[in-house]
Structure 1
C-alpha cells in the first residue's frame, strides 16, 4: 500500500488532524462538548459588553443580569469553564496522539488519562499565565522608564490629549501584542508535551520552545489560522446576537456560534498534537530513514517508543 505524503507545512498538519478525527468522529464529537461552556462564554460576553440589558428582555428574563451576579458566582463559572477547557485539551490531545499512531481510541481511556494529565496541565497553565503577566509588566515598565527619562532630559513632551499620544499608545500596544504572539507561538506545544511526556510547570514551556525551533513558521500560521477564524466567528455571532436580542429566535446564533467554536477548538487542539509529532520528527527524535532514490524522509511515528507495533508511517516532505 502506498504511503500517504504529509508535508511539514500548515496544509499537512490540518489534513492529518482532520483525517484522525474524521476516522473517530463520534469520539471527538463527544469530547468537544467539554468546550461548550468556553464557546458559550466567548459568544455571550462580547454581546453583554455591547448591550448591558441583553438578558433583561422578556424572553431572557429567567436569566439574571450580569450586573446582578455575585462575584462568587462569576468566579465559580470562570473556574468551571477553565477546568472543562483543560479537560477537553487533555482528552482530545490524548486521543489524537493515539489516533496518529494507529492505535484504537477509547472514550473511557481518554477520560481516565485526566488522572495523570489534569493537574500538570493546571500547573503549566498557571506558570504560563504568570510569565505572560511578568513579560507584559516588564515591557510596560521599560517603556515607562524610557518615557520618563526622555521627559527629564527634555526630549519628550507628553500631551495626553494629542493625536501623537494616541499613536504612541497604539504602537506600544501593537508591539506588546507581537511579543506575546511570539511567546505563544513558541509555547504552542506546551500542553501536548504535558500529555505526551508527563512534564509539568516550566519544563513543558522549555520543551515546546525547543521543539518549535525550525518549525516556527508552521506554528505561527497555525496560530493565525485558528485565531482569525475564532475571532471572526465570535465577532459575527456576537454582533448578530446583539442585533437579534429582541427577537424570539435570538438563541439561534448563540447555538450556531457555539457549535462552530467547539469545532474550531477541537480542530486546533488536534492540529497542535499533529504539529508536535512532526516537530519531534524534524528534530530527529523519531526513527528516520531515507528512501532510495527519493527526496522524501520516511518517518516512523510510534505513540510509545517501546511499543512500535502500531507505528503510523508518514512520508514527510520539507515545505
Structure 2
C-alpha cells in the first residue's frame, strides 16, 4: 500500500515572535556593525532618556533650596524667572538631543536591517551616510505626524469644551457630579484610542522614509496601506516595546528618586556608586530594546510587503545577482519570506 506523500504545511501566520526571531537573526549576523551603530546613536539617546528625570529633579531641588535661602534678600519674582528659564532650557535641550539621535538611529539601523535582510553587504560608512541623508525627510515626517496628532487633540478639545458649556446649562449636572466625571473619562479613552490607532497605522512610516526615499505625508499613507491585515502585529510590537521600555525607565527613575531623598545634599548624587551603576545598566538594556524595536519595525515592513505581494520580484532579483556565501555565513544570505495572510 503506497503511503500518501506528505503535503506541505501552510506557513505560520506572522506574529511578534516571528518578527523578533528574524530581527535577532539579522542582528547576530552583523553583531559588530549594530554594536557600533548602537554606541554611536542609540547609547546617547538612551542615556539622555535615563538620566533626564534625575537631572531635572536635581536641578529643581537645588533651585528650590537656593530660592528659599535668598528669598528674603532678593525677593521672589527674580528667582521664579531663573527657575523657569533653567527648566525650559533643560527641556528644550533634552528634546533636541533625543530627536536628533533618534532620527539618526532610525536612518542607520533601518538601512542596515534592510540590507541585511537581503544578504547584501552591511557597511558602517554606508549606514552613517544613510542616517545623514534620511535625517531631514524623517524630521519632516515627524513634524507632519505630530501636526496630525495635535489636530486630533485640538478637535477633541474643542468638542469637549462645547459639550462642557452645554452641560453647564443642564440643571442638576455639576463638575463634581458623576455625569461630568464619566464624560471626562469617555473623552480621555477616545483620545487614547485614536492616538493608538494612528500609531498602529503609522508604524512603518519611518522605514518607508529610509527605504523608499519618501517624506511628509506620503510615508504615513504608505504605512497605512502596508499595515492592512497586520494591525494585530503592529499593535503587539508597539505594546511590547512601549511597556518594557517604560517599565525600565520607571524603575530607574524610582531608584534615582530614592537616592535623592536619602541624600542630604543632592550634589553628591553623581558620586554615588549605586546611582552610576543603575544608570549604566538601564542605558545598556534600553539601548538593546531600542535596537530590537527598530529592527523589528524594519522586518515587519518586509513581511507586510510579502503579504501584499510586493516582495516576490524583489526576492527574485536578489537571487538573480551573484553572491559568494561561505558555509559558516548563513545569517548573511538572502532570506525567503513565507507568510500566512490573516485579514484583520
Normalised by the length of structure 2, the TM-score is 0.76
The number of residues matched between the two structures is 294
The answer on 1:157 being equivalent to 2:173 is yes
Residue from 185, 188, 192 that aligns with 2:207: 192
* Contact residue 107 and residue 132 of structure 2 kept, 8 A: no
Structure 2 unaligned runs (5+)? 1-10, 66-81, 264-268, 324-333
The answer on 1:40 being equivalent to 2:47 is yes
Query: Helix, strand or coil for the counterpart of 1:104?
Result: coil
Q: 1:26 to 1:305 in 2, by over 3 A?
A: closer
* Contact residue 147 and residue 156 of structure 1 kept, 8 A: no
Find the structure with the greater CA-based Rg.
Answer: 2
* Contact residue 56 and residue 87 of structure 2 kept, 8 A: no
Normalised by the length of structure 1, the TM-score is 0.82
Hey, what does 1:61 align to over in structure 2? Answer: none
The range that moved more, 32-41 or 166-175, is 166-175
For residues 190 and 37 of structure 1, the distance between their equivalents in structure 2, rounded to whole angstroms, comes to 23
How big is each residue's C-alpha offset from its partner over 1:154-179, in whole Å with a ceiling of 9 and x where there is no partner? Answer: 267232x4566445434422321121
Hey, what does 1:27 align to over in structure 2? Answer: 33
Q: 1:255 to 1:163 in 2, by over 3 A?
A: farther
- Structure number with the higher helix fraction is 2
Q: 1:92 to 1:54 in 2, by over 3 A?
A: farther
Give 1:266 deviation, angstroms: 0.8
Hey, what does 1:103 align to over in structure 2? Answer: 120
Alignment of 1:85-124 (within 5 A): 85-124=102-141
Q: 1:201 to 1:309 in 2, by over 3 A?
A: farther
Residue from 267, 275, 280 that aligns with 1:255: 280
How big is each residue's C-alpha offset from its partner over 1:34-83, in whole Å with a ceiling of 9 and x where there is no partner? Answer: 123332232234445666328999xxxxxxx9867374565344323211
For residues 50 and 179 of structure 2, the distance between their equivalents in structure 1, rounded to whole angstroms, comes to 35
Give 1:139 deviation, angstroms: 1.4
For residues 319 and 134 of structure 2, the distance between their equivalents in structure 1, rounded to whole angstroms, comes to 21
Query: Helix, strand or coil for the counterpart of 1:214?
Result: coil
Hey, what does 1:297 align to over in structure 2? Answer: none
Q: 1:50 to 1:71 in 2, by over 3 A?
A: closer
Hey, what does 1:14 align to over in structure 2? Answer: 20
Query: Helix, strand or coil for the counterpart of 2:337?
Result: strand
Structure 1 unaligned runs (5+)? 58-64, 289-299
For residues 198 and 21 of structure 2, the distance between their equivalents in structure 1, rounded to whole angstroms, comes to 26
